[in-house]
Structure 1
Amino acid sequence: MPYQASIQRSTPTAFLFLVDQSGSMGDLMAASDKTKAQFVADVLNRTLMNLITRCSKPEGIRDYFQIGVIGYGGMGTCNGFQGPLGGSILHPISSIGANPLRIEERRKKVDDGAGGLIEQTVKFPIWFEPQADGGTPMCAALTQAAEELASWCDANPDSYPPTVLHVTDGESTDGDPEMVADTLRQFQTNDGNVLLLNLHVSAQAGNPIRFPAAEGGLPDQYSKLLFRMSSQLPQHLVSYAQGKGFSVSHESRGFMFNAEASEIVEFFDIGTRPSQMR
């Protein structure tokens, strides 16, 4: 069965985040004082911190994962990392851990042990900065992802396949992305094809659509396009999503539409759960 390879330092997997940075990502999230770009950046930075924690052992950070971020907007596509990480797209997780852009102090509410909440100051590493400008060159971003992962799959034939987590809030402005997405999903390791998961971020209050199994109930052609672009969820991700309370079947695809704040958090958490780590 595919998607069963164990994650080891000798056979790591890869997570590649594609983040829409077009002008409309500057709109405020529903019921929030943050823009979509700011909220996605916060969730992505927290996800990177959580991935580092999952790979941390007493002797240091084990390189179970290789991580990359591609942003796309008014300047075309760009490496989502800067500084020492800006020279290439994919990096071992230990390099991510060693090279945040900066460390911010943020306030967080925690349990005070007596049924109440108190605020604490916590360290919050920043790797990815929010941006919102220009159009939505989605085809260019997917093409760059395909180029990166074609080489990665050739170099790591026995690994769990890479996962692409794509966050967007609007339609492509550089052509029809479906064929490019189809090509991206065809790259494979011996354990299966590249997984492409798509999340549409909403600025409007509404009913999110989570992991649909068919396009028939989707509201428009754009949501149906993103559904067709998305991979079917492997069984271990189906089980993990069900454990988090989602109504998911073996026919479900890795797709959310009109996602609100909580769905963005869940999307990144579910999408970064490979089958086995050793």
Structure 2
Amino acid sequence: MYSAEINRRQPALLLFAIDQSFSMKDPWAQTGKSKAEALADAVNNMLGNAVLLCSRGDERVYDYFELGVFGYGADVTPVLHGSSRDQACLPVSQVAENPLRVDTMTRRVPDGAGGVVSMQQKMPVWVDAETNGMTPMVAAFTTLEPVVKAWCTSHPTSFPPIVINVTDGASTDGDPRDVGARIHDLGTDDGKALVFNVHLSGLTNQPVLFPSSVAGLPDSNAKMLYELSSELPSSMLEAAASMGYTVTAGARGFLYNADATSVIDFLDIGTRSVTPTGLKELTDGTDRPEGTEDV
């Protein structure tokens, strides 16, 4: 399970729900930016890395991923530039071709040796910071559920969808665990959908990263987000360990009081973890024989 090769006939889905409530205006510790601004930077960084992972030297971008980003606050809506309610998830080549704009900023990119480095680059921007409304997490997951279900039906042999929810607070419209469990029960022949959660904090409290139990979690909201989160498959455990994180069997895809660096790393784990068996000709520098590029 969780070992399907990623190719253009079997793409992977990366789907994000990002909190855009009023409280996201608050500063994110040590970033010099609001939570909304720093989170938008992290999401754009991840989207840029996904494009790079699917690119060749001739600038072709191969559709090994489909990407969707929903914001939730005053409303729940697709916020990835070029997407819409009718087409919430876009092939990575379409994402690459259609940024909102291009800014200059610091990006964390793979160094080719299993780590990441920071560098100044021109960076496409697909998602802008927004802050408005409450934190309707139930509505967000309820909106994602049919998107995940339809995608699984259309891609029965693909790597299961990865859903990542990023928030700085508690749900204001009820308990999202039931709808989260329904999403997790969806899936493909390769396994159930993966639901991960990231909690942002403006505090300098010690973060809790990839816990395997509720021990050490400070409150009921942290425990709720933990229970809402899937266990990391072995490939993701390895990806997290390669980034220097301490993970054990049973660790869940959950960060509490996460700092900016941890969030950037976490968003990249979804893309990096599927590359050992998929994207082989892109990650080892080899080309496939002519006529087999779609495989």
Same-fold call, TM > 0.5?
yes
Aligned residues: 266
Residue number in structure 2 paired with 1:116: none
Match of 2:36 in 1: 37
What corresponds to 1:64 in structure 2?
Answer: 64
2:4 touches 2:278 (CA, 8 Å); kept in 1? Answer: no
Residue 169 (structure 2) aligns with: 170
Which sections of structure 1, spanning at least 5 residues, go unmatched? Answer: 109-119
Residue type matched to 2:33 in 1? K
How many Å separate the matches in 2 of 1:72 and 1:106?
A: 25
Pair 1:276-2:274 in alignment: no
Aligned residue number for residue 7 of structure 1: 6
Q: CA–CA distance in 2 between the matches of 1:63 and 1:47?
A: 16
How many angstroms apart in 2 are the aligned matches of 1:105 and 1:186?
41
What is the TM-score when the length of structure 2 is the normalising length?
Answer: 0.86
SS at match of 2:214: coil
- Counterparts of 1:10 and 1:88 in 2: how far apart (Å)? 19
Structure-1-length-normalised TM-score:
0.91
Alignment partner of 1:214: what SS?
coil
CA distance in 2, matches of 1:107, 1:70: 24
1: CA distance, partners of 2:138 / 2:156: 26
Report what 2:17 is aligned to: 18
Change (3 A) 1:248 1:68: same
Q: 1:85 — aligned with what? A: 83
Q: Separation in 2 of the partners of 1:232 and 1:106?
A: 33
Q: Return the letter of the residue paired with 2:83.
A: L
CA positional deviation for 1:232: 0.4
State the partner residue of 1:252: 251
For residue 58 of structure 1, report the CA deviation from its aligned partner. Answer: 3.9
Mapping of residues 207-218 of structure 1, within 5 Å: 207-218=206-217
Aligned residue identity for 1:277: G
Instruction: Answer whether contact 1:17 1:164 (CA < 8 A) is retained.
Output: yes
1:159-203 per-position Cα deviation (integer Å, ceiling 9, x unaligned): 000101110011111111110111110001000000011000001
Kept in 2, the 8 Å contact 1:165–1:271? The answer is no
For structure 2, the residue ranges without an aligned partner over 5 or more in a row are 108-118, 280-295
Matched residue SS, 1:56 = coil
1:233 maps onto 2:232 in alignment: yes
Among all aligned residue pairs of Structure 1 and Structure 2, give the percentage whose two residues are the same amino acid. 38
Q: What whole-Å deviation, never above 9, does each CA across 1:46-79 have from its counterpart, x for those lacking one?
A: 11011100000245100000000000002x2011
In structure 2, the residue matched to 1:113 is none
CA RMSD across the alignment? 1.8
Please state whether the residue corresponding to 1:7 is helix, strand or coil: coil
| Equivalent pair of 1:63/1:94 in contact (CA under 8 Å) | yes
Asked whether the 8 Å contact 1:234–1:250 carries over to 2, the reply is no
8 Å contact 1:41–1:129 — kept in the other structure?
A: yes
Native 8 Å contact 1:73 1:132 kept in 2: yes
Moved over 4 A (4+): none
SS at match of 2:266: helix
Deviations 1:70-101 (A, max 9, x none): 00002x2011123x333521010000000001
Structure 1 position 125 matched with structure 2 position 120: no
Instruction: Give 3-state SS (helix, strand or coil) of 1:150's partner.
Output: helix
